[in-house]
Each structure stands twice: as structure tokens, then as C-alpha cells.
Amino acid sequence: MSRTPVKTPAKTKAPARTANAAAQPAPARNTRKRVRDDSGWQAQKSAMTRDGILDAAVSCFVEIGYAATTTARIAEVAGVSRGAMLHHFASKAELVQAAVEHLHRKLVALYATSIDAITHDLAVAERNRRGLQGYWNYLSSDIFIAYPELCVAGRSDPELQRILETTVVRFDEAVRSANVALFPEWAAKGELFEFAMDITKFVMEGMAVSQITGQKEKRIERMIGYLGDRLDEIFHEGVTGTAIQRHTTRKSAGTRKTR
């Protein structure tokens, strides 16, 4: 049985483009917005990488100590290449300075969080004790452990010591401003206010260092209570003739001992 051949339809030619059509330029792509978006994302990504490196540096200070912290170790913890890290920090000194400042910002934010919940409708004595507990929560945090570690390392590292001195001054100023806002009654006490801040700082930071070596919770609670009582005395009216007054007022010229 023979099949009838099927005829293939003839191909039709596409109409020739006119000269005017050929001269028409292709529609321009709107790349301006995409370039702007890409640029913003790259900047955000770069900032995230930088913060990740600084977080890794602080983590190394806490976990293994400043002396054992190397740029290679920081890069490993941050999950970046050495080249990527050098893109953000050209030297270890530059990285350390940025890391210490990063730690400073974290500590200030942590301290603010510790005392922000304290309201002014509480009695001064209650605010006082809650403020001390908030300060202790800050001192006993993981990231604060890095601070005494850096201070010890700074004894034999002049560059680190210089960085720490600048940072500590700024941190003390931030703490003072927070305390003035929390205890406006204290700020009016002048020298007594500075004296109370010094007592709180040195006693409680000493407690924090002791805690690293195994301080007992009961002893910490007792010391915080005792310090609260002493601060109440400092700000109590009528401290004339007490040891507090002797350490916060200058002796007159007539009472000085002669040689």
C-alpha cells in the first residue's frame, strides 16, 4: 500500500527590516537601582564581616587569653580568610585597638541593660542595692573576664596599655553618666559622689577578679549587702566627724602637722 506524499509548506521569508527599524536602539536597561542596591548590600556585608572578626577577637580574649590570641586564630574563629581579615585590619595592632573599642561598646551596653530596669519611684536605699546588683551582674558576665586579662597583658605591652587607658576613661565616663541619671541625689553630693563611685568600683571589681578563682555566692551576697550599707552612710545627712568626712574633706592649714 503506497502512501500519499505529504507536501511540506513552503517557508515564508520574514519581512525585511526597514532602515528606520534597524536604526532603532535597543531599550536601555535600568541598572542604576540595581547598582545602588548591590553597593548597599556590599557595604552591609563588609560591616557584618568586620563585626564578626571583632566578636571573634573578644571571644579569643575570653576563651584563651590575650597572650595566646593570634591573628590566625581570630580568622579561624571568625570563619574568614587571612586575606579577608587583612582587608579590614592591616595589622594586629589595628585589630587589637578595634577589638578593645568593640569590647568597650559591649560593656557599656551591658551595664546600661543591667540598670535600665531600676525605676526612680523606688526608695534611694532600694535603688542603691539594685544598682549594686546590676553592677555585679555586669562584672560577672563572660565578656568582662576579658577586661582584667587585657589589663594584665598591658603591663608588658605599651601599645595595649595606651589603648586601654583611653578606653577605660571613656567607660568610666559612661558609668558616671548612668549613675547620675539613676541617682540624681548622689550627683548633688559632690565629692561624696566621687568617693562612693571609687569605693564601689574598686571593691566590686576586686570581687569579680576573686570570683574567677572560685568565690562563694554567699560571700558575694554578704559583701554586696555590706557595701550597700556603707553607701547609705556616705549619702546620709550628718556625717560630720565620721571616717567618711575625714577621707572626703581637706584639712585646714591650721590643723596640718608641722615637721
Instruction: Kindly indicate the confidence band of residue 194, based on its pLDDT and cuts at 50, 70 and 90.
Output: confident
Higher-scoring residue by pLDDT: 73, 142: 73
C-alpha distances out from residue 50 to 9, 33, 79, 116, 145, Å: 67, 26, 12, 29, 22
Average pLDDT, the chain: 77
Where is 70: in which H helix or E strand? none
| Average pLDDT rounded to a whole number, residues 110-131 | 83
DSSP annotation of 145: G
| Average pLDDT rounded to a whole number, residues 4-25 | 51
Calpha distance 226→221 (Å, rounded): 9
pLDDT at 241: 53
| Average pLDDT rounded to a whole number, residues 101-121 | 83
Calpha distance 56→58 (Å, rounded): 6
Q: What is the three-state SS of 187-250?
A: HCCCHHHHHHHHHHHHHHHHHHHHHHCCCCHHHHHHHHHHHHHHHHHHCCCCCCCCHHHHHHCC
| Average pLDDT rounded to a whole number, residues 89-108 | 87
Q: Which three cell numbers stand for residue 146?
A: 576579658
| Average pLDDT rounded to a whole number, residues 148-164 | 85
From the options 3.30.160, 3.40.50, 1.10.1200, 1.10.357, give the CATH code of 91-237.
1.10.357
Can you give the residue ranges of every domain in the chain?
A: 91-237
Calpha distance 59→69 (Å, rounded): 10
Residue 12 phi, psi dihedral angles, 5° rounding: -100, 140
**DSSP secondary structure letters along 158-195:** HHHHHHHHHHHHHHHHHHHHHHHHH-HHHHTTTHHHHH
Cβ(205)–Cβ(138) below 8 Å: no
Instruction: Report the 10 Å Cβ neighbour count for 137.
Output: 15
